[in-house]
Amino acid sequence: MLFFTQCFGAVLDLIHLRFQHYKAKRVFSAAGQLVCVVNPTHSLKYAPTRCAVAQTSTEQGSLPPCHHHEAVHDPQLVPCTCPLFSCPWEGHLEVVVSHLRQNHRINILQGAEIVFLATDMHLPAPTDWIIMHSCLGHQFLLVLRKQEKYEGHPQFFATMMLIGTPTQADNFTYRLELNRNQRRLKWEATPRSVLECVDSVISDGDCLVLNTSLAQLFSDNGSLAIGIAITTSKVHNGEAEM
Amino acid sequence: MLFFTQCFGAVLDLIHLRFQHYKAKRVFSAAGQLVCVVNPTHSLKYAPTRCAVAQTSTEQGSLPPCHHHEAVHDPQLVPCTCPLFSCPWEGHLEVVVSHLRQNHRINILQGAEIVFLATDMHLPAPTDWIIMHSCLGHQFLLVLRKQEKYEGHPQFFATMMLIGTPTQADNFTYRLELNRNQRRLKWEATPRSVLECVDSVISDGDCLVLNTSLAQLFSDNGSLAIGIAITTSKVHNGEAEM
């Protein structure tokens, strides 16, 4: 019996060690900055025209334009904001984060400044690299997408969305920075709300856009490091909304 | 006779006033920065494969890859570096600036920080906006090009080239900055030498690249303002080359 208990303990230790190794691979600290290794996910339900509806009336309380469900009656409910799947889930904005973590296994990181290290940049389009970022009391969704807007010419699109309303999003500024090979590219903008749909932000090109050759110049061994920083752009006057 | 002299004087005054007005339209100062209005030029001899030769051996003394002339014997001579025309001119690197000014009417501006205001962004591709920039004892060529790399999808490419050798270019860093509508895009890099050919820099995508929708977001009334700054990146050890 003692033998079996010891064996079981050893197996548990191995599982724990494997888990630690897995975590270590995904998040580590370099030069004082938190580096998050993000593996790609092939978009199973990618549809370029998913968000064809014009982005009007996306303030809290009205139906978001990404809505796929015909039978929604509660205007407070929002659909799943995961850009990877056409997920039938819907719920209140406050529980979107836990849905994304539990159902779509999207990691969440803490910290004002982090490095998003996207691996396997060579994988064919469409591919997404996604994490959530918890900062300044809010949660943000960072999406890097490889997509062929022009057939045969994949491009990379990176944007940050607030898991909150457009009014709340106006209070922040996000910065994405690439820095390698004596080149530096910085993109600063107000994050869009997840209610506005990441697909339409990318199809509008209102984000950081990289062609393949530039992505290669900024990549190291097939991985692209994007420095992320979020700041408040004005006094939070929309805090009471959520 | 006095009447004719007076008439001639009046005509001269009018020409002078017209010239002053023309100059005032092209360069003005806004918020302490020199703003240069750059009108577009339709590329008459645009050829995407103009620089098919690999960019090797572009140091001073060897033949540059953009060379079109079969009968060049003097290795010190370089061809015209104007990206607009297949110009048969060739000469020493030291006289390229005066050739560009006199024969191709490319303006030259002084100052460490200037604003390049490209007008008529809506014009069809291929179109170029070009100025020379004199700074830190050297001359630089700034090229903004609208080009269709993918048919039906024009993009804007902006780069800065040193009118000097690649070794001299390594001593500098240039920055291009767009800032409008709560968005900011910065590109920093080491300038390339004009001996390396602007066409291949653009076809490689190793420059600031803007899709049409992003260019529209940064434009104001059809004009795109690009802030330019040049700094020295290390001690000038290549000064003796030229």
pLDDT of A241 strictly over 50:
no
What are the pLDDT digits (tens) for B38-59? 888 776 554 443 343 333 333 3
Confidence band, pLDDT 50/70/90 cuts, at residue B237: very low
Q: Please give the pLDDT value at position A3.
A: 58
Rg, Å, chain A Cα set: 19
Name the residue of chain B whose CA is nearest to A150's CA.
Answer: B150
Confidence band, pLDDT 50/70/90 cuts, at residue A94: confident
Q: Please give the pLDDT value at position A93.
A: 84
Half-sphere exposure of A43 (CA within 13 A, CB side): 23
Share of chain A above pLDDT 70, in %: 66
How close, in Å, is residue A26 to chain B by CA atoms? 29
pLDDT of B18 strictly over 90:
no
Q: Please give the pLDDT value at position A63.
A: 34
Q: Please give the pLDDT value at position A207.
A: 95
Q: Please give the pLDDT value at position B224.
A: 96
Of the residues A147, A149, A150, A175, the best mutation for testing chain B's interface (the one with the most B CB atoms within 10 Å of its CB) is: A150
* A209, β-bridge pairs: A157
Check if B182 contacts A (Cβ < 8 Å).
Answer: yes
Separation between Cα atoms, residue B33 and residue B109, nearest integer Å: 12
Check if A187 contacts B (Cβ < 8 Å).
Answer: yes
Mean pLDDT across A29-50: 64
Check if B180 contacts A (Cβ < 8 Å).
Answer: no
* Residue B206 identity: D
Cis peptide before A126 (omega within 30 of 0): yes
- Among A212-226, B40-54, B145-159, name the one with the lowest average pLDDT: B40-54
Name the residue of chain A whose CA is nearest to B170's CA.
Answer: A182
What are the pLDDT digits (tens) for B173-222? 999 999 999 999 999 999 999 888 888 888 888 999 998 889 999 999 99
Of A183, A189, A204, the CB nearest to B189: A183
**Separation in Å, CA B19 to CA B14, B23, B187, B197:** 8, 6, 35, 33
Other Cβ atoms within 10 Å of B120 Cβ, number? 14
Q: Which residues of chain A does B211 touch, with a Cβ-Cβ cutoff of 8 Å?
A: 205, 209
- Among A69-73, A137-141, B31-35, name the one with the lowest average pLDDT: A69-73
CB contact under 8 Å between B187 and A189, yes or no, is no
Residue B117, both tokens: 């205001």
Rounded-to-5 percentages of helix, strand, coil across chain B = 25, 40, 35
Query: Which CATH code, of 2.60.20.30, 2.70.98.50, 2.40.420.20, 2.60.210.10, is assigned to A27-41+74-232?
Result: 2.60.210.10
Q: What pTM, to 2 d.p., does this model score? A: 0.74
Name the residue of chain B whose CA is nearest to A188's CA.
Answer: B184
CB contact under 8 Å between B213 and A190, yes or no, is no
Mean pLDDT across chain B, nearest whole number? 76
* B138, β-bridge pairs: B135
CB contact under 8 Å between B186 and A182, yes or no, is no
Q: Please give the pLDDT value at position B5.
A: 53
